[in-house]
Amino acid sequence: MNRRRLVLLSAAFVVVAHSGCTRTIPEEGPLQAISDKDKVQVTGEYKRIHLEAVERVSIDGDKFVVHGPSGSVAVDLPADADPDLKNRGWALVTEGEGEGTRTLTFTQETSLEDFTVTVPAAEGQIAYGSLGAREGSDVLLFAYGSGSKTYWGWAKVVRGER
Protein backbone atom coordinates (compact mmCIF):
# COMPACT_ATOMS: atom_id res chain seq x y z
CA MET A 1 0.00 0.00 0.00
CA ASN A 2 1.47 3.34 -0.98
CA ARG A 3 1.75 6.28 1.41
CA ARG A 4 -1.05 8.33 -0.24
CA ARG A 5 -3.57 5.46 0.14
CA LEU A 6 -2.54 4.94 3.74
CA VAL A 7 -3.10 8.63 4.53
CA LEU A 8 -6.53 8.60 2.83
CA LEU A 9 -7.52 5.41 4.62
CA SER A 10 -6.41 6.84 7.98
CA ALA A 11 -8.36 10.07 7.36
CA ALA A 12 -11.48 8.07 6.49
CA PHE A 13 -11.09 6.02 9.67
CA VAL A 14 -10.83 9.18 11.79
CA VAL A 15 -14.01 10.62 10.22
CA VAL A 16 -15.95 7.39 10.78
CA ALA A 17 -14.66 7.02 14.35
CA HIS A 18 -15.50 10.62 15.20
CA SER A 19 -19.01 10.39 13.78
CA GLY A 20 -19.60 7.18 15.76
CA CYS A 21 -18.48 8.83 18.99
CA THR A 22 -20.40 12.07 18.57
CA ARG A 23 -23.52 11.89 20.67
CA THR A 24 -26.49 13.54 19.07
CA ILE A 25 -29.61 14.08 21.09
CA PRO A 26 -33.00 14.57 19.44
CA GLU A 27 -34.91 17.87 19.68
CA GLU A 28 -37.57 16.11 21.77
CA GLY A 29 -38.04 12.75 23.38
CA PRO A 30 -37.69 10.78 26.60
CA LEU A 31 -35.31 12.07 29.25
CA GLN A 32 -31.98 10.38 29.70
CA ALA A 33 -31.71 10.19 33.49
CA ILE A 34 -28.98 8.93 35.80
CA SER A 35 -29.81 8.22 39.42
CA ASP A 36 -29.27 5.77 42.21
CA LYS A 37 -31.87 3.26 41.02
CA ASP A 38 -32.44 1.93 44.54
CA LYS A 39 -33.37 5.38 45.83
CA VAL A 40 -34.85 7.28 42.88
CA GLN A 41 -36.39 6.16 39.60
CA VAL A 42 -36.83 8.90 36.99
CA THR A 43 -38.87 8.94 33.80
CA GLY A 44 -39.98 11.90 31.73
CA GLU A 45 -39.63 13.78 28.50
CA TYR A 46 -38.68 17.12 27.00
CA LYS A 47 -40.07 19.06 24.05
CA ARG A 48 -39.19 22.15 22.07
CA ILE A 49 -41.34 25.26 22.48
CA HIS A 50 -41.46 28.45 20.46
CA LEU A 51 -40.45 31.30 22.74
CA GLU A 52 -37.56 33.75 22.33
CA ALA A 53 -36.22 33.08 25.84
CA VAL A 54 -37.26 31.49 29.12
CA GLU A 55 -37.65 33.98 31.96
CA ARG A 56 -39.83 32.16 34.49
CA VAL A 57 -42.46 29.43 34.87
CA SER A 58 -45.81 29.17 36.65
CA ILE A 59 -48.78 26.84 37.11
CA ASP A 60 -52.20 27.98 35.92
CA GLY A 61 -54.84 25.34 36.62
CA ASP A 62 -53.74 22.19 34.78
CA LYS A 63 -51.20 24.08 32.63
CA PHE A 64 -47.46 24.62 32.99
CA VAL A 65 -46.81 28.13 31.70
CA VAL A 66 -43.40 29.18 30.40
CA HIS A 67 -43.01 32.96 30.34
CA GLY A 68 -40.70 34.85 28.01
CA PRO A 69 -39.92 38.52 27.39
CA SER A 70 -42.86 39.11 25.06
CA GLY A 71 -45.22 36.19 25.55
CA SER A 72 -45.81 32.82 27.12
CA VAL A 73 -46.49 29.23 26.17
CA ALA A 74 -48.91 27.02 28.14
CA VAL A 75 -48.60 23.24 27.96
CA ASP A 76 -50.59 20.50 29.67
CA LEU A 77 -49.19 19.17 32.93
CA PRO A 78 -48.23 15.49 32.91
CA ALA A 79 -51.35 13.39 33.53
CA ASP A 80 -50.63 12.45 37.15
CA ALA A 81 -49.21 15.83 38.30
CA ASP A 82 -51.29 17.48 41.01
CA PRO A 83 -51.20 21.30 40.68
CA ASP A 84 -52.36 21.66 44.30
CA LEU A 85 -49.21 19.95 45.64
CA LYS A 86 -46.56 22.60 44.88
CA ASN A 87 -42.91 22.85 45.91
CA ARG A 88 -41.81 19.32 46.68
CA GLY A 89 -38.31 20.44 47.64
CA TRP A 90 -36.24 19.73 44.54
CA ALA A 91 -33.37 22.11 43.78
CA LEU A 92 -31.11 22.47 40.75
CA VAL A 93 -27.62 21.98 42.16
CA THR A 94 -25.35 21.40 39.16
CA GLU A 95 -25.36 22.21 35.46
CA GLY A 96 -22.96 20.94 32.85
CA GLU A 97 -22.38 21.02 29.12
CA GLY A 98 -21.29 18.31 26.75
CA GLU A 99 -21.02 18.09 23.00
CA GLY A 100 -24.53 19.19 22.02
CA THR A 101 -25.98 18.41 25.44
CA ARG A 102 -26.76 20.08 28.72
CA THR A 103 -26.93 18.17 32.01
CA LEU A 104 -29.03 19.21 34.99
CA THR A 105 -28.67 17.65 38.43
CA PHE A 106 -31.51 18.05 40.92
CA THR A 107 -31.35 17.17 44.63
CA GLN A 108 -34.20 16.73 47.09
CA GLU A 109 -33.47 19.20 49.89
CA THR A 110 -34.45 17.00 52.84
CA SER A 111 -33.57 13.45 51.71
CA LEU A 112 -30.59 14.49 49.51
CA GLU A 113 -31.62 12.01 46.82
CA ASP A 114 -30.59 13.26 43.40
CA PHE A 115 -30.76 12.59 39.70
CA THR A 116 -29.22 14.02 36.54
CA VAL A 117 -30.96 14.48 33.20
CA THR A 118 -29.39 15.10 29.82
CA VAL A 119 -31.20 17.38 27.39
CA PRO A 120 -30.26 19.27 24.20
CA ALA A 121 -27.82 22.14 24.64
CA ALA A 122 -29.28 25.65 24.63
CA GLU A 123 -28.08 28.97 25.98
CA GLY A 124 -30.09 30.71 28.68
CA GLN A 125 -31.35 30.31 32.18
CA ILE A 126 -33.27 27.37 33.61
CA ALA A 127 -36.59 27.88 35.37
CA TYR A 128 -38.11 24.97 37.29
CA GLY A 129 -40.51 23.87 39.98
CA SER A 130 -41.94 20.68 41.43
CA LEU A 131 -45.36 19.24 42.13
CA GLY A 132 -46.62 16.15 43.84
CA ALA A 133 -48.15 13.38 41.76
CA ARG A 134 -51.50 11.85 42.54
CA GLU A 135 -50.03 8.47 43.53
CA GLY A 136 -47.36 9.89 45.86
CA SER A 137 -44.34 10.50 43.65
CA ASP A 138 -43.01 13.92 42.59
CA VAL A 139 -43.05 15.69 39.23
CA LEU A 140 -40.27 18.15 38.44
CA LEU A 141 -41.06 20.65 35.66
CA PHE A 142 -38.41 22.72 33.90
CA ALA A 143 -37.87 25.08 30.97
CA TYR A 144 -34.73 26.60 29.52
CA GLY A 145 -33.19 28.17 26.47
CA SER A 146 -33.15 31.24 24.28
CA GLY A 147 -33.09 32.22 20.64
CA SER A 148 -34.28 29.46 18.38
CA LYS A 149 -33.78 26.77 21.04
CA THR A 150 -36.20 26.78 23.96
CA TYR A 151 -37.46 23.66 25.69
CA TRP A 152 -39.72 22.45 28.46
CA GLY A 153 -39.71 19.10 30.15
CA TRP A 154 -40.85 17.04 33.09
CA ALA A 155 -39.40 14.29 35.22
CA LYS A 156 -41.50 11.93 37.33
CA VAL A 157 -39.48 11.01 40.41
CA VAL A 158 -40.39 7.89 42.34
CA ARG A 159 -38.40 7.78 45.57
CA GLY A 160 -37.57 4.68 47.58
CA GLU A 161 -39.32 1.35 47.54
CA ARG A 162 -43.11 1.56 47.29
Across the chain, which has 162 residues, the per-10-residue mean pLDDT values are 41 38 78 86 96 97 96 96 94 94 95 94 96 92 95 92 52
Which one-letter DSSP state was computed for residue 15? H
pLDDT for 1 equals 53
The pLDDT assigned to 93 comes to: 96
pLDDT of residue 161: 57
Contact 96, 35 (CB under 8 A): no
Mean pLDDT across the chain, nearest whole number?
86
Q: Where are the domains of the chain?
A: 27-159
Q: What is the 3-state secondary structure (H, E, C) of 102-154?
A: EEEEEEECCCCCEEEEEEECCCCCEEEEEEEECCCCEEEEEEEEECCEEEEEE
b/e burial code for range 83-107 (CB count within 10 A of at least 16 → b): eeeeebebeeeeeeeeeeebbbbbb
